[in-house]
Structure formats: C-alpha cells, structure tokens
Amino acid sequence: MAPDFTPILLTGSPAERGRRHGLLFPREIRRLRRVFFRFLLRAGYLVASLPLALLFYALGGRFWGQVPEALKEEMRALAAAADLDLASVLLINVLDDAANALPRCSALAVDRQRSATGGVLVGRTLDYPLFIDVLVREQRLFSVTPEGGVPFLSVAWPGYVGVCTGMNRRGVVLCQLTAVCRRATFRGVPAALRFRLALERGDSLAAAARQILALPATIGNNVLLAEASGALVLELAPGAWACRRPVAGLLTATNHFQAPEMAALKGRFPRRPPGSPLSPTHFREAYSAARNRRLQELAGGRRLSPRDLQAILADPHVANPGTAVAAVFAPAQGTLWLARGERAPVSRCRWVEIRAWA
C-alpha cells in the first residue's frame, strides 16, 4: 500500500505533541520495532540476537543524556501514549547514530539562476539498505508546531521525532545524508534530533546552520540546507566541519566528504548487511562518487523545474533498490513534491504536490 501523505498535525507543548503522536500510531511503532528484531534473527545471529538487541538498546541509552530536555519530554509522552517502553522510541530516533553509515542518499540544489521557478529548488532521495518495505509503506508527513518555535514539515515515520527530510514555515529546507567518517562518539546530540532543532529554531538558512554547528556531532553527515535565495552543504564530523556552496549554480551531495579539509576524516564504507536487496557495489565510496557525478551530469547546463528534479532522482544511476523516500522542495512557493509508491525505488513512482500551510 502506498503511503498516506495527509499531514499529521502535532501542536502544543512537547508532552501534548508526543501524546498525540503516540495515540495515533501505536501499532505502526510496534511494527517498526518488530521489523528490527526480525532482521537480527534473519541475519543469522541466532542465540547472539538477543544480546545484540540488548547491545543496540544500550547504545541508544548512551545518547539519552545528550538529548535536549524538551525532546526527552516529547519522547516520554509518545512512549507512554503508545504503551511502549521508552528505550524502543529512543532507539528508533538514534538508530543511524548507533549503526552509523547505513543510508545511501543523494541530494542536489539549484540556485535561482538555474531554476525555472526563479527560486532555489532542492531534491533528495533517502536510500536505506534494510527495512525498506516498511520504510516505504509507513512514511508520513508530520506538520509540527512547537511552542515558541518555527512550524515545520517532516517526512518521517511513526515514533520518529527527529528530522532527516523537512522544511519549515520560513522556507528553510533540510536534507540529512550520512557521510562515512572515521570518527564517531556518544558525546553529542543524536543527528536527527540535532537537525530537528535546526528547523524549529532556524528562521533563515544562516540561523539553521548556526544551530547545527552549535551542538556537538555524533557521526559523519552531509546536510544540505537551503532557502529561496541560497543553499549550502555542511560536511560534519565530531570535532570538525566544512561548508560547501553551489558551483555554477549547482550543489550536490551523496555519502562521502567532498571538501578538501575533510578528506582526512573519510572512513571505510561498511559491508553489505545480511538480507539487503542492494548489491555489494552499493557499499563502496566509488558508488557514492558515481552518484554525485551523475547528479552533476543530469543537472548540468540547463534551467531546471521541479519535474526535472523528479526525473533526475528517478534516474537508474541515482535511484536504487533502497530508495525509500524521494522529495523535491520549492521553498519560495512553500511547496513540496513527494514520491508516493508501494515499493522502492519510490522516485520512479507517482509524485504528489503538497502546498505547505495552504
């Protein structure tokens, strides 16, 4: 079944937002948890699967002390309303930090001179090597109005309070991509929660970037940020960062660092996890570099419309069997397009237009 992108409205205090979230999706959050444990069993860990699961819970718990209090309150209320243990909700939100370097994502932005709409356009795919069917089916569009913060939209999953793909009411767009990095630490705010704070506190591109850089990182990330008048990529690692701007009106990002000053922090790409529909080729830096070149080839030398970006994200050298989410943003118009399909790669399925806060 294709996902439902009717916005899920979450308003009020952190506890009120969390409670509504948990009451709406108790079965879906349990389904995500079951899929995770089934993977551990199917992966051949056998009797080690329970200790490994406990290890992942313990890893999630290591991050708890770094979570800002308002987000702790939201997750506590979510877990209580869904009748779930808090550890499961926390793990859903820090799985990327605990597992490190699983996604295979692509993103691009074109500036106003290269855009057919007159404003910056952003496109992104979120590619995952595991849990793909449930990630496709269970994705939702959350419309969050935090107390004292900037309202924002987030393409995410039940139980997920962080942001990896979103846009706020001030027209700031955020797309998170994992970057394979030799550094990782528990002494930082989990990535998706840090990026959530950037959208709800950042009323401009510059403010969102400052918010991200103000909090310590846990893993490597490439974060594409944009607004109607500009775009940048923050290349992030624990204790280091670099900023890239568009070149000839185009900015691209995949899963490796491109800034020269981050070259020494590049890590080794992980092996293909058991049961993944992706091939071993997808788990190499060469594949990340090839996708980046393909984005540049497809976008080069012409003005691009939202439909053009959708076609680029559907290209067979960009999309792959793990493409679970695909989105295009026109922040000047407050509009986004989401790929609505029943199976990956969703970028080759039907796209739906959504006017934010219409």
Give the pLDDT confidence of 202-222 residue by residue, as tens digits.
999 999 999 999 999 999 999
**84 and 165 both lie in a single domain:** no
Which residue, of 81, 97, 113, is where some domain finishes?
97
State whether residue 327 is helix, strand or coil.
Answer: strand
Task: Based on the fold, state whether residues 147 and 162 are members of the same structural domain.
Answer: yes
Q: How confident is the model at residue 286 (pLDDT cuts 50, 70, 90)?
A: very high
Query: What is the mean predicted confidence (pLDDT) over 158-178?
Result: 97
pLDDT tens-digit series, residues 324-339: 999 999 999 999 999 9
Percent of the chain with pLDDT over 70: 92
What is the distance of C-alpha 205 from the center of its chain? 17
pLDDT over threshold 50, residue 77: yes
**Same domain flag for 169 and 251:** yes
Residue 185's domain comprises 102-355
pLDDT in tens, 113-147: 999 999 999 999 999 988 899 999 999 999 999 99
Report the distance separating Cα 317 and Cα 10, nearest Å. 37
- The 3-state DSSP class for residue 146 equals strand
Domain of residue 322, CATH code? 3.60.60.10
- The residue from 32, 64, 97 where one domain ends is 97
Q: What is the pLDDT of residue 49?
A: 47
In-domain check, residue 3: no
Q: What is the mean pLDDT of residues 287-300?
A: 97
Rg over alpha carbons for the chain, rounded to the nearest Å, is: 19
Confidence tier at 103 by pLDDT (50, 70, 90): low
Q: Are residues 30 and 148 located together in one domain of the fold?
A: no
For residues 142 and 169, state if they share a domain: yes
Both 60 and 192 in one domain: the answer is no
How large is the average pLDDT for residues 304-329? 97
Same domain, 242 and 213: yes
Q: How many domains does the chain have?
A: 2
Residues 176 and 319 in one domain: yes
CA torsion, ordered 252, 256, 262, 263, to nearest 10 deg: -120
Question: Averaged over 213-232, what is the pLDDT?
Answer: 97
Asked if 227 contacts 173 with a C-beta cutoff of 8 angstroms, the reply is yes
pLDDT confidence of residue 36: 75
- Band of residue 47 on the pLDDT scale cut at 50, 70, 90: very low
- State whether 231 and 308 are in the same domain: yes
pLDDT, residue 104, reads: 77
